[in-house]
Amino acid sequence: MAKFAPWIAAGLLLLARTNSWSGAVTKDVEFRLTQDVGYGNEVCVLGSHPALGGNDSLKAIKLAWSAGNVWKGKIALPSEETLNYQYVRRSFSGANWTNPSQIVVLASNQSVQVPTHISPPWRGKTVFLLSPWSQANLYYRDVTHGGSWTTASMRMVGAGRSGVSGEKLFRLEGILDSGVEMEFVFNNGSSWLNAPAPPSGTATSNAPAVPAPYQGLSGPYNFRTSLDVFLVQDQQIFNYLPPSSLSAPRLVTWNVGSTVSNIPGRPITVYLPRGYTENTWKKYPVVYFHDGQNVFFPGAGFGTWDADRIATYEIGQGRMRECILVAVPNGNGYGSDRLFEYLPDGDTITNYGGLGLNFSGRASLYLKFILDNVTPTLDFNFRTLGDSANTMVAGSSMGGLVSDYFGFAKSDRFGAVGIFSPAYWAAPNYLSTRTMTLLPLRRYLYMGTAESSTGQSSSDVYWQGALSAYNSFLGAGHVSGRDLVFEGGPGASHNEAAWSKRMPSFYGMALNPWLEANPLMMQAYPPGAATITLTNMGSQAALRFFSFLGFQHILRSSQDLVNWSEAAVTPGGNYWDTIDVSDTATGSEKKFWSLQYRNP
């Protein structure tokens, strides 16, 4: 099989005188309702589509209150869909939030027509399969819209990997709509190819055999992904043509020194994804986790997030990007203290736990340690993308608080934050002084309803703190489903097991595979120019090309097809768009253009 070329040219042009729901393309739709719903109640939007909660009251999308009892907010919705919904009232107290009987419909039978978007160069979904079978069928259904199961025959289009005797490459295209989540398996008329079972290991006193999100599931397991163009090789999903064999994910320990006073250096643990050794052309997004002692299996004294095993499974099933994960341990045991490092400057904790311990925040120094020492170490020694959109941070409890702090302090360095069960109660000064504006930042916010020390959710300061933050983020103009996701955990306590259970959701938002280039799509459907027009008697050419998220777009021009000049072109803001480029030619000269799509 051919490897992915470092660039692909689209539409070599001679100057003569002459898009259904997509995980890729959504439109921001504003919802608004004026109604007094009483103190302690909130207005939400609830519909059958997953983007509107999937008729699950716990996933209803909250609106922000403004003066005059106007509830409003923007929600990212799939382009070209007609969606039905209703406005509902619900209590957001921890005690009542999980009770569906407290949901009151305020306005039913509402409908919205989401604006259209230009169609992509492909139609629906295209699935490639490497298999030794002589024939292959795809058995699939549309999960997004609750479709029924359908069978389609795949056609054999070539040989498989060299060195794999009898392997063939099968292809099927044009099924379902772009961007919908598809559940599927393969068969050859007599046997089935299913997805692999979730990860499993040896249980310890602090870590489960099976990660929390997959406990209670039973096989056989089905594949599920929203990707439009992908390949299944060895029961794993890829959006590029992988090498014939891939190295397994692995953990690496790296010692990081410190140049920051009062913040000691420490060893970090780095997760490298499948194929890191072989895919030398590829750079990766990075997620930095606080409380690194508890991030990876088998976990420490407080249990484990299982971030590594969950990432391996979600990546393999085409539900998150290949990435690098970094577990940064807190200062406990390294000459510092977790509370000092995670508490924002200007806040203090006195008589902590009744033990007479006092802490003054120095999160700014910890942030400096991450930016001056940890991230440069990663960028120098590993193939990281390094820009803010591909650099993320996550943590829980005090780690959730400091993740929130990182986002506000350095949104130019961190493009997404995972805020799990944040201890907002510890930082009243920070909460009162931070400026709540719309930042170029994606936030995932999670809180359980029973996270107080007594388990009495009705008075839980954790839940109320998270709700206040949720309201503030909405009020600042964040778009639900695009740059803000809130999830609540019914009856969930303050522990690693609860946070582990939410990892697929966080990964799916922060590391959505639709946020990166799809080289396989580019190979299967090399785009051409959409339109070429001339103005001013041939002196100026207006060119329209497709643009795709994640690629560098280079416009090359030539008069003789030998000597070329190059200029970078700014792509559109959606996964696919059209971009208009103007160029000039003098007199009656001929001119050629080529737009190249290069890996970043």
For 304-321, the three-class secondary structure string (H helix, E strand, C coil) is: CCCHHHHHHHHHHCCCCC
- Residue 151 corresponds to which tokens in the numbers above? 């069978």
Alpha helices in 140-284 (DSSP H): none
Beta strands per DSSP E along 290-399: 324-327, 348-352, 357-360, 391-396
Q: Do domains 7-18+526-598 and 243-449+492-515 have the same CATH topology?
A: no
Continuous segment of H or E residues that includes residue 230? strand 229-233
- Contacts (Cβ under 8 Å, ≥6 apart) of 186: 129, 131, 136, 137, 138, 139, 192, 193, 232
- CA nearest to 228, candidates 286, 274, 158, 174: 174
Q: What is the pLDDT of residue 15?
A: 32
Strand order in the sheet with 576-584: 529-535, 540-548, 576-584
Q: Is the dihedral of CA 311, 315, 320, 324 positive or negative?
A: positive
Distances (CA, A) of 575 to 393, 419, 458, 474, 551: 24, 26, 43, 24, 10
Distance of CA 206 to the CA centre of its chain: 28
Structure token digits, residue 105? 């419909």
Strands (E) in 57-181, as ranges, are 61-62, 64-66, 70-78, 82-91, 104-113, 125-131, 136-142, 150-159, 168-175
| pLDDT confidence of residue 537 | 45
Residues whose CB falls within 8 Å of the CB of residue 558, separated by 6 or more in sequence, listed in order = 564, 565, 591, 592, 594
Q: Would you say how long the chain is, in residues?
A: 600
In degrees, to the nearest 5, what angle opens at C-alpha 215 toward C-alphas 451 and 322?
A: 90
Distance of CA 504 to the CA centre of its chain: 10
Query: What is residue 27's predicted lDDT score, i.e. its pLDDT?
Result: 94
Pairing type for strands 416-420 and 391-396 reads: parallel
From residue 274, give the alpha-carbon distance in Å to each of 160, 242, 506, 510.
Answer: 20, 10, 20, 19
What local confidence, expressed as pLDDT, does residue 245 receive?
Answer: 94
Q: Which residue has the tokens 């068969």?
A: 187
SS3 content of the chain, % helix, strand, coil (to 5): 20, 35, 45
DSSP symbol at 5? P
List, in order, residues 6 or more apart from 509 with CB less than 8 Å away.
416, 442, 444, 485
For residues 553 and 327, what is the distance between their CA atoms, to the nearest angstrom? 34
Cβ(307)–Cβ(237) below 8 Å: no
- Specify burial of residue 397 (Cβ count, 10 A radius: 0-12, 13-18, 19+): buried
Distance CA 234, CA 195 (A): 10
Task: Compute the distance between CA of residue 417 and CA of residue 506 in angstroms, rounded to an integer.
Answer: 9
Which CATH class name applies to 7-18+526-598? mainly beta
Tokens of 162: 């060299």
Identify whether the C-beta of residue 379 lies closer than 8 Å to the C-beta of residue 386: yes
What integer pLDDT is reported at residue 257 of this predicted model? Answer: 97
Structural tokens at position 68: 């005059």
Residue extents of the structural domains in the chain: 7-18+526-598, 125-193, 243-449+492-515
Expressed in angstroms, the distance from the first to the final Cα of the chain is 23
Question: Which residue's entry shows tokens 């292959």?
Answer: 136
Cβ contact 249:347 at 8 Å: no
pTM of this structure: 0.92
Give residue 66's identity as a one-letter amino acid code: S
Q: Which fold has domain 125-193?
A: Immunoglobulin-like (2.60.40)
**CATH number of this structure's domain 243-449+492-515:** 3.40.50.1820
Output the tens digit of pLDDT for each of the chain's 600 residues: 433 333 333 433 333 323 223 467 899 999 999 999 998 899 999 999 999 999 999 999 999 999 999 999 999 999 999 999 999 999 988 888 888 888 999 999 999 999 999 888 889 999 999 999 999 999 999 999 999 999 999 999 999 999 899 999 999 999 999 999 999 999 999 999 999 999 999 988 889 999 999 999 999 999 999 999 999 999 999 999 999 999 999 999 999 999 999 999 999 999 999 999 999 999 999 999 999 999 998 877 789 999 999 999 999 999 999 999 999 999 988 878 899 999 999 999 987 777 777 889 999 999 999 999 999 999 999 999 999 999 999 999 999 999 999 999 999 999 999 999 999 999 999 999 988 888 899 999 999 998 875 444 444 789 999 999 999 999 999 999 999 999 999 999 999 999 999 999 999 999 999 999 999 998 898 876 555 555 544 567 778 888 888 888 888 888 888 898 898 988 888 888 888 888 776 555 667 777 888 876
pLDDT of residue 363: 97
Alpha-carbon distance of 500 to 305, in angstroms, equals 4
Measured in degrees and rounded to the nearest 5, phi and psi for residue 478 equal -65, 145
Task: Please report the pLDDT score of residue 23 as a whole number.
Answer: 60
